[in-house]
Structure 1
Amino acid sequence: MTTAELVLTRLTVGGMTCAACANRIERKLNRIDGVQATVNLATATASVTHPPSLPASDLVATIVAMGYSARPPQADGPASAGDHSDDVLRRRLVVAGLLTTPVLIVSMVPAWQFTGWQWVVAVLAGPVVGWAGWPFHRAALRNARHGSATMDTLVSLGALVSYLWSGWALVATPAGGPEVRMSFAFLGGHDHALYFEVGAALVTFLLTGRWLEARARSRAGSALRGIAELAARDVAVLDTSGHDHRVPLADLRVGDRFVVRPGEKVATDGVVEAGVSAIDAALLTGESIPVEVGPGSGVTGATVNTGGRLVVRATRVGEDTRLAQIGRLVAQAQAGKARVQRLADEVAGVFVPFVLVLALATFAGWLALAPAATAVGVAVAVLIVACPCALGLATPTALLVGTGRGAQLGVLIRGAAALESARRIDTVVFDKTGTLTTGRMRVSDVHPVDGVSRDEVLRAASAVETYAEHPVAQAVVIAAGQHGGAAVPTVADFRVVPGRGASGVVDGTRIVVGNTLHLADAGVSVDTPTGVTDTVVHVARDGRWLGWIGVSDSLRDTAVPAVARLRALGLRPVLLTGDTPAAAEAIAKQIGSIEVIAGVTPEVKAATIRRLRDAGHTVAMIGDGVNDAAALSEADLGIAVATGSDIAIEASDVTLVRANAGTVDLTAAVDALALARATLRTIKVNLFWAFAYNILMIPLAGIGLVNPMLAAAAMACSSLLVVLNSLRLSRWRPTMQAPSTSTEAIGAAC
C-alpha cells in the first residue's frame, strides 16, 4: 500500500505522565498492521497513519484499553486539555501543601505532640495520600495491569505502605496510646513508629515536580493553537447577483468568490479576480514591505489587505491552505524533539523493579530473623529511602531557577529540550527581517536627477506621502523631517492608487510618487535602477522625473556584535531569509562573515534546517515571524525575538526580550546558549546526587540501620540538596556582561 492510500488521523491522548507512557502507546499502535504512529507527550497528541479500512475508533479503543483516554482534537487544540490538567494538579498540590505542613511539624517535633496527636495526623494525612496522591496511584495501577513499573509505582507504594502501616500500628499497637510521644531515632525504633508524615511528604514533593512539568507540557501546544487563531472567522462570499453575504469560514468552498475589504484578513488562499491593493504578509513571510497585488495575483489566507477592495477566488481551503501547512510543520517538528526528562524515566524503568524486588527480599530476610513489625518497618524504610523524590525534582527545580535567572537577563528559556541541545550547538541560523533588522522601514538613500537636490526630492515626496498610510510613505515623511524639510504644504486633489502610489497638487504643481507603473500611468518616463536592494519610490513634478528614493529596513545595533561573539565561540552563523539574494547580501556585507541562503519559502526554511541537521550539525534558529515557526520548531534550539509574532515565540525554545536602545538585544542569544548549558549541567549534577543518595541509603536501610523516619528525613535532605544546587543558578552571570536591563526595558521589548 502506498503512502497516498493511507489516512492520517490525529488524536488527543489523556493520562500520559512521562515519556514512558508516550513510548508505550506508540509501540502498541505501531504493532497494528499497516500503522505508523508518533505520540507527542508535549502536545498530548498521537499522529497515526493507517489504512482506510482501519477506522479511527479502533485506534481510540486500543489506547483506551491501555488505561489512557483518546479522542479527536477539539477546536481549541491540544493545549486546552493540558490547561485543565494543570488546574487539577494545582488544586491537588495546594490541598496537599496545606495539610502536609502541620503533619510534618507535629510528627517531627516531639515537644509539639499533644494528646491524641496521632489521630489528628492520621486524619490530615489521609486526603493527601488518597486524593492528592491519586494520579500516582492511578498510574501505578495502569502500569501494573501491563506488567510494568515506573517512578509512579514507587511513589504510590511508598505513600500507601507508609500510611497503611501507620494506620495498623495506630489501632493494633501501643503507638496509638494517648500519652505516646514519637521521638526521632537514627537506628531501630521500628516497632511503634508512625509514618503518616512520610506518605504525605512524598505526595506533596512529587506533586510539586509533576505540576511544574505539566505546565511546561501544556504550553507546548499553544504554538499550534496560535497558528489556527490567525485565520479569519468568517468571509463575505459573492452570490450570483454580485451581492456579498457573510458566512462562516468552514462553509467556504474551492471556486467561491469572496470580498476582502481594506483592513480585513484574506479568508483563504486564492487568486485576485478584481481590484488592486497591497497585502501585508508580514505574519506569514516575515517581510515588512506590503506586496502589491492585482488581477491574477495569488494571495494567502491570514494576510491583511491594507488598501483597496479585492475580489478573490478561493483555490485552497481548510487543511490544504498555506497556514494549515505551516501548522502541520510545527507539529511534526515538535513531535521529534527529545526531552531531558526521558533520562530519569528510562533509568527508572530498571531502577524501580530492582527496588521492588529488593524490598520484598528485605522483608523476607528480616521476617526470618525478627518479628513481623520489624520486618515490615525495614521493608518500608527501603521503599521510602528509594522513592525518587530528588530524582523527580532534579529537572524542574533547575529549570525554574535557570529560567528565572534568564528572565532577569532578558532571556526566556522554555522547556528542557532547549537545555539538552544547547551544549551541542555548532550552527546558528538567523532570519533577516525583524531579527537581524528592526522590521521598521527607513529611507536609505536619495538619488536626484541632475539639477535637483536631495531635499527637493524628499520635500516633494513627503508633501504627498503625508496623507498616505503605507509604511513606505511613513518612512519618506520621517526622512524629510530629519533632512530639515520645510513645513508640509496643503495638498489638493489627493489621490491614492492602491499598490502603486499617490499623487496630489502642491502649490499649483502636480506631484506623483510611486513605482514605475504608477509614474508610467501619469505619463512620466523614468530610468529603473538595476542591482538595487531597496524598495524604489519614484518622484515626479509636473511630468518631470525628479529622481528616486531607496527605502529599506535597518540593521539592529546589536546584530554585528552578536554575530561576532558567536563566531568567537566557534559557531557558524547563517542568514536564512525569504528576501531577495541582493537584499540579503547587502545585510551580510554590513554584518561581516556570514553565510547567506536567500529567497526561500517557509517550507524551504524548515527543509534547510533539516538538511543542516542531516549533515551532522546541531542547529539553533533565531527568527521572529510566523514563517519562521516551522523552522524554529525544526531546529535543535529555536530562539525567537520578543518583538516578533506570538506564533514564532510560542514555537521557540528561547525568547529574547532584553532591550538595548529600544530594540531587542541580539547578544542575549549568546547568553541564552551559555545559560542553557549551565542549567543543563546543574540538572546533570542534580541527577547524580539523586542517584548517589539512593545508592548509599538503600543498603543502609536494607540492613536495618535506617528506620522509616530517618529514611523520610534523608529523602527530604536529598531533595533539599537538589534545590540548593539549583539555586546556584540564580547567581549565574554571562562571561561577557551584557547591557543592564530594567524591568521597564523588558516590558517595552515585550
Structure 2
Amino acid sequence: MTTDPIVAPPRDAATDLDTVRLSLTVGGMTCGACAQRVERKLNKLDGVRAHVNYATTIATIDASSQYTEEELRLVVTAAGFSAEPFVDHAHIDTSAEDALTSDLFRRLVVALVLFVPLADLSIMFSAIPSTRIAGWQWFLLVLAMPVVCWSALPFHRAALTALRHRTTTMDSLVSTGIAAATLWSVYSVFGRPSTATSDKGTWTAITSGDSIYLEVAAGVTVFVLAGRYFEAKAKRRAGGALRALANLRARDVSVLLRDGAELRVPAGELAVGQRFVVRPGEIIAADGVVTEGRSAVDTSAMTGEALPLDVSAGDTVTGGIVVLDGRLVVEAAAVGRETALSGMIRLVETAQTGKADLQRLADRISGVFVPVVFALAALTFAGWSMVVGDVDRAVGAGLAVLIIACPCALGLATPTALMVASGRGAQLGIFIKGHQALEATRSVDTVVLDKTGTVTTGKLTFRSIATDEEGAEAEVLALAGAVEHASEHAIGASIAAVAADRTGELSQVTDFVALAGLGVRGTVRGHHVEVGRPAWFSERGFVIGARMSAAQSSSERLGATPVLVAVDGAVAAVITVSDTVKPSAAIAVARLKSYGVRTLMVTGDNAHVARSVADQVGVDEVVAEVLPEGKVDVVKSLQNAGRVVAVVGDGINDGPALATADLGLAIGAGTDVAIGAADIILVRDDLEAVVDSLALARATLSTIRGNMVWAFGYNVAAIPFAAAGLLTPLIAGAAMAFSSFFVVSNSLRLRRFDPMTER
C-alpha cells in the first residue's frame, strides 16, 4: 500500500513562514538515481529545499513550518523508501547496518558456493556438447535457482518497489538482467532443441556468450552482491572516524554538591554553572573552567596533538578530552549541544550532507541514466536481431548493456571521498564545513594571516627588566609583581606570574588603585609603587635614566611593550613584555611559500610590532594599523587583482574578513564570530594545521576528480563495447562491480592521509 504524496496548501505570498532544518535517514537507496528521486519528490513541495546524500543516506531538509516531520517522512515513503528521524552519530544504532552487512554476506556466500560449479558445468556443456548427460538441464537449474531467486532477492524486491512507484533504479537494471538471463536460459535448454553439433574451445565458450546464460545470471548476482557487501563495509569504515569523535562524549558525570558530596548523573543532566569532578582516565563531560586540581590531559582525539597538555586552576577545558594523572574539579560553562565537541560534530555532519558541483552533475545524470540504459539495451537487442539475425548474440549484447551500465559509481564518487576526508580531518583537528571549502582550495594562491592569536600566542610574556642600579632587579620586580597581582590586566598578570616564580610569595598590597589605560598604584611593604605606560610617567615629568631609556627604545623598536615601574616617586625599572610567536608559525609560512602561495600579515597593531613578528616568521608583506573593515578592503583588493584569497584568523575583528575571503580558516580557540564566518575550523593551536588543511582538501579534490573520471569514463567507454557484442554479460557484471569497488577503495585511501608526508 502506498501513501499519496502531500499536496502543499496554498501559500499566501504575504506570509513569511519560518524555516526549520531537519534530517532524515533514508533507507532502501541503492544508487544515485534513488537519492535523486527522493530529492526531486521533496523539492516539489512549496517551501521545501532538500539535499539527499546517497553515501550517508541522510536527507537534509529546509522546510517551512507548515510541514511536520511526519509529513515529510510520508513523502519519502511515497517515493518508495523508508525514512526515520536522524540522530547524531553518537547515538546511531549500528545494529541495522550490521544486520544488512551480515545478510549481504550470507547471500554472497551461498551465491558464490553455487556459482563455481554452475559456471564450470555450464561452460563445459557449452564448449563440449558431447558431455551433456541426461537431465543436465535440471542439474544446472537446481544450482542456479537459489542464487537467482534467494541471493538476488534484494535486487528483485527493490526493482518491484520502484516499479510500483513507476520509476527505475540501479536494481531495476540488475533485476531485469538476472531475470532475462534466467528466462532465456530456461527457454534455451528446455523450450527448443539443441543446435550444438560439435565441441568448441572453452575460451570460445566463455567469450562468445553462449545461449546458456544461467551462469551469467548467477555470476551477475555474485558480482553485484560482492560490490554491495564491500561497499557497505567501506561506508561503515568511512563514517567510523566521525562516530568515534561523537563517542568521545562522556556518558555520565560526578556532580559536586554543596556539601562536598558527589552525585553520579547522566551527562545530559549536567547544567551550566554546576561543578563536576573528573578523575584519571575519565572524559571531561562539558566545556568549562578548572576550579581545583592539576593534571595532564590527552587532547589527541580532539586536536590531533600527540603530547599531553598540563592544566590547572583557571585554565579552560573542553568536553571530550581525557584526564590522565590528576583529579580536576571543573565548572561547566557549556553543556550538551552547546559544547565545542558537539559543534564540531555538527560541522562534519553538515560537510557530509553537502554536494559539490561535480556531484550535482552526477546526480542529474543518474536520474535519467537508468531509463536511457533500458532504451539502449532494447535498441541493441533489436539491432543485433535485425542486422545479424542471431537471437543468441542479440540477447547477450542486450544483457551486457543492461548489466554494465549501472550508475552506482557515479553516485559514490563524491560523497564517499567527502565522508572519508571529513572523518580524517576530524582526527587531525581539522573540521571542514562543506564542499564549498574543498572547492575553494583548488586555486588558493594567497594566504592572509592575522597576527595576534594566529601567528602569535595572543598571551603577553615577560621578557626582561632593566634598572639603573646594579642588583636591584629582583627587589623592584617583587614590588611591581605585588601591585600587579591585584590587577586584572593581561600585562599585569604576566608580570605578577614571573615575580611570584622568581621571588616566592608576593607581599600584600594596600591602597590599590587601577587607572584605566594608564597603570596601577599601591603600597607594598611601606613603598609607594606605580606600574604603567611610559606616557603616564612622562606626562607627570618623571625622569628616566640612560640605561632604562635605552631598554625602552630597544623594546619599542623590536615591537615589544615597555612598562615603567616607579618606587617612591622615582622610575626604578623598565619591564619589557611581548607577545610570543607560535613555534609552528615560521615552519607553516615556509611550507606555504614552498607551495607557491603568497603570504601577507594584516593586523591592527602598529607597524613596528607587525614588522618584527613578520620578520621572525618569514612573512614578506605586512599591512598594519587597519580596522576590521580595513582587513576586508585588503581581501577585496587582492581578489580584484585576480587573487584567490584564504584568510586565517581567530578574533571578532577577523569575522568580516573570514566571510569575505574565498576560503576562511578559523583557529578553534578563537571567538564564535570567527568560527561562524570560517569555512574550515582548526582545533589545533598550531599554524601548521593551516597547511595541513589545505593539503587534505587538495588531496580530497584530487580523489574526487579521479573518482569522477573513472565513473564517467567507465560508463561512456563500456556501453559501446557491450552493445557491439565485445563483452559477455558475465564479464560486464564483473566490470560493473569492480567500478563501484574501485571508487570506494580510492576514496578510502584518504583514511591514510598523513600531513607529515606533505611537509
Which bracket does the TM-score occupy, shorter chain normalised?
0.5 to 0.7
d(CA) in 1 for partners of 2:82 and 2:573? 70
- Which is higher, the Rg of structure 1 or of structure 2? 2
Tell me the equivalent position of 1:690.
715
Q: 1:563 and 2:589 equivalent?
A: no
Cα distance, 1:689 vs structure 2: 5.0
Tell me the equivalent position of 2:399.
383
d(CA) in 2 for partners of 1:687 and 1:51? 37
Contact 2:441-2:697 within 8 A present in 1 as well: no
User: What is the aligned counterpart of 1:80 among 77, 94, 101?
Assistant: 94
Tell me the equivalent position of 2:583.
554
Compared with structure 1, are the counterparts of its residues 132 and 325 closer, same or farther at alpha carbon in structure 2 (3 Å cutoff)? same
Compared with structure 1, are the counterparts of its residues 533 and 193 closer, same or farther at alpha carbon in structure 2 (3 Å cutoff)? farther
Residue identity opposite 1:381 in structure 2: A
1:710-743 CA distances to partner (integer Å, 9 max, x unpaired)? 45446767988999999999xxxxxxxxxxxxx9
Compared with structure 1, are the counterparts of its residues 246 and 63 closer, same or farther at alpha carbon in structure 2 (3 Å cutoff)? same
Tell me the equivalent position of 2:69.
56
d(CA) in 1 for partners of 2:77 and 2:316? 45
Which sections of structure 2, spanning at least 5 residues, go unmatched? 1-13, 479-492, 508-513, 534-551, 563-571, 622-634, 636-645
User: What is the aligned counterpart of 1:249 among 252, 267, 271?
Assistant: 267
Contact 1:10-1:48 within 8 A present in 2 as well: yes
1:9-46 CA distances to partner (integer Å, 9 max, x unpaired)? 43322222233322322332344455444433343223
> Aligned runs of 1:179-194 on 2, under 5 Å?
193-194=211-212
d(CA) in 2 for partners of 1:626 and 1:135? 50
Cα distance, 1:362 vs structure 2: 6.1
Residue identity opposite 1:172 in structure 2: G
Tell me the equivalent position of 1:540.
none
> Aligned runs of 1:260-279 on 2, under 5 Å?
260=277, 267-268=285-286
d(CA) in 2 for partners of 1:346 and 1:115? 49
Cα distance, 1:136 vs structure 2: 3.3
d(CA) in 2 for partners of 1:35 and 1:671? 33
Q: 1:233 and 2:251 equivalent?
A: yes
Contact 1:278-1:292 within 8 A present in 2 as well: yes
Cα distance, 1:281 vs structure 2: 11
Compared with structure 1, are the counterparts of its residues 266 and 678 closer, same or farther at alpha carbon in structure 2 (3 Å cutoff)? closer
Task: State the SS of the aligned residue for 2:247.
Answer: helix
Tell me the equivalent position of 1:466.
none
d(CA) in 1 for partners of 2:587 and 2:442? 24
Residue identity opposite 2:167 in structure 1: S
d(CA) in 2 for partners of 1:669 and 1:359? 45
Residue identity opposite 2:32 in structure 1: A
Cα distance, 1:194 vs structure 2: 0.6
Contact 2:230-2:741 within 8 A present in 1 as well: no
Moved more, 64-73 or 46-55: 46-55
Tell me the equivalent position of 2:54.
41
1:506-541 CA distances to partner (integer Å, 9 max, x unpaired)? 9xx84779xx99x999989878998899999xxxxx
d(CA) in 2 for partners of 1:278 and 1:581? 40
Compared with structure 1, are the counterparts of its residues 245 and 621 closer, same or farther at alpha carbon in structure 2 (3 Å cutoff)? same
Task: State the SS of the aligned residue for 2:443.
Answer: coil
Cα distance, 1:228 vs structure 2: 3.4
Task: State the SS of the aligned residue for 2:276.
Answer: strand
1:306-339 CA distances to partner (integer Å, 9 max, x unpaired)? 998656366x543344543443333233322327
Compared with structure 1, are the counterparts of its residues 241 and 444 closer, same or farther at alpha carbon in structure 2 (3 Å cutoff)? closer
Tell me the equivalent position of 1:197.
215
Cα distance, 1:442 vs structure 2: 14
d(CA) in 2 for partners of 1:354 and 1:35? 29
> Aligned runs of 1:208-227 on 2, under 5 Å?
208-211=226-229, 213-215=231-233, 217-219=235-237, 221-222=239-240, 224-227=242-245
Compared with structure 1, are the counterparts of its residues 356 and 66 closer, same or farther at alpha carbon in structure 2 (3 Å cutoff)? same
Contact 2:560-2:576 within 8 A present in 1 as well: no
d(CA) in 2 for partners of 1:28 and 1:171? 45
Tell me the equivalent position of 1:447.
464
Moved more, 223-232 or 361-370: 361-370
Cα distance, 1:609 vs structure 2: 6.2
Tell me the equivalent position of 2:157.
138
Once superposed, what is the RMSD of the aligned Cα atoms?
Answer: 6.8
Contact 1:77-1:224 within 8 A present in 2 as well: no
Residue identity opposite 1:258 in structure 2: R
Q: 1:600 and 2:650 equivalent?
A: yes
Cα distance, 1:633 vs structure 2: 13
Q: 1:152 and 2:171 equivalent?
A: yes
Compared with structure 1, are the counterparts of its residues 362 and 527 closer, same or farther at alpha carbon in structure 2 (3 Å cutoff)? closer
Task: State the SS of the aligned residue for 1:12.
Answer: strand
1:446-479 CA distances to partner (integer Å, 9 max, x unpaired)? 535459999x99xx99xxxxxxxxxxxxxxxxxx
d(CA) in 2 for partners of 1:321 and 1:151? 42
d(CA) in 1 for partners of 2:681 and 2:336? 29
Task: State the SS of the aligned residue for 2:349.
Answer: helix
d(CA) in 2 for partners of 1:228 and 1:23? 29
Contact 2:50-2:62 within 8 A present in 1 as well: yes
Contact 1:395-1:683 within 8 A present in 2 as well: no
d(CA) in 1 for partners of 2:739 and 2:84? 42
> Aligned runs of 1:621-640 on 2, under 5 Å?
635=679
Residue identity opposite 1:138 in structure 2: R
Contact 1:93-1:132 within 8 A present in 2 as well: yes
Task: State the SS of the aligned residue for 1:194.
Answer: coil
> Aligned runs of 1:96-107 on 2, under 5 Å?
96-97=111-112, 99-101=114-116, 103-104=118-119, 107=122
Residue identity opposite 2:342 in structure 1: A
d(CA) in 1 for partners of 2:406 and 2:17? 48
Tell me the equivalent position of 1:738.
none
Contact 1:93-1:204 within 8 A present in 2 as well: yes
> Aligned runs of 1:451-466 on 2, under 5 Å?
none
d(CA) in 2 for partners of 1:533 and 1:77? 51
d(CA) in 1 for partners of 2:200 and 2:175? 28
Residue identity opposite 1:80 in structure 2: T
d(CA) in 2 for partners of 1:218 and 1:669? 26
Compared with structure 1, are the counterparts of its residues 24 and 715 closer, same or farther at alpha carbon in structure 2 (3 Å cutoff)? closer
Cα distance, 1:384 vs structure 2: 1.8
Q: 1:680 and 2:705 equivalent?
A: yes
Tell me the equivalent position of 2:372.
354
Residue identity opposite 1:384 in structure 2: A
Cα distance, 1:248 vs structure 2: 0.9
Contact 2:253-2:276 within 8 A present in 1 as well: yes
Residue identity opposite 1:170 in structure 2: V
1:225-253 CA distances to partner (integer Å, 9 max, x unpaired)? 34533433323335565644121122234
Tell me the equivalent position of 2:9.
none
Residue identity opposite 2:717 in structure 1: A
Tell me the equivalent position of 2:631.
none
Which sections of structure 1, spanning at least 5 residues, go unmatched? 462-496, 537-543, 649-655, 657-662, 730-742
Compared with structure 1, are the counterparts of its residues 209 and 583 closer, same or farther at alpha carbon in structure 2 (3 Å cutoff)? farther
Cα distance, 1:554 vs structure 2: 1.3
Cα distance, 1:378 vs structure 2: 1.8
Tell me the equivalent position of 2:349.
331
Compared with structure 1, are the counterparts of its residues 56 and 418 closer, same or farther at alpha carbon in structure 2 (3 Å cutoff)? closer
Compared with structure 1, are the counterparts of its residues 720 and 367 closer, same or farther at alpha carbon in structure 2 (3 Å cutoff)? closer
Cα distance, 1:150 vs structure 2: 3.3
1:614-658 CA distances to partner (integer Å, 9 max, x unpaired)? xxx4x5969899999x979985xx7989xx69xx9xxxxxxx9xx
Cα distance, 1:563 vs structure 2: 0.7
Residues paired across the two proteins, number: 639
d(CA) in 2 for partners of 1:259 and 1:198? 65
Tell me the equivalent position of 2:488.
none
State, as a whole percentage, how many aligned pairs show the same letter: 30
Contact 2:227-2:740 within 8 A present in 1 as well: no
Contact 2:648-2:658 within 8 A present in 1 as well: no
Cα distance, 1:69 vs structure 2: 2.0
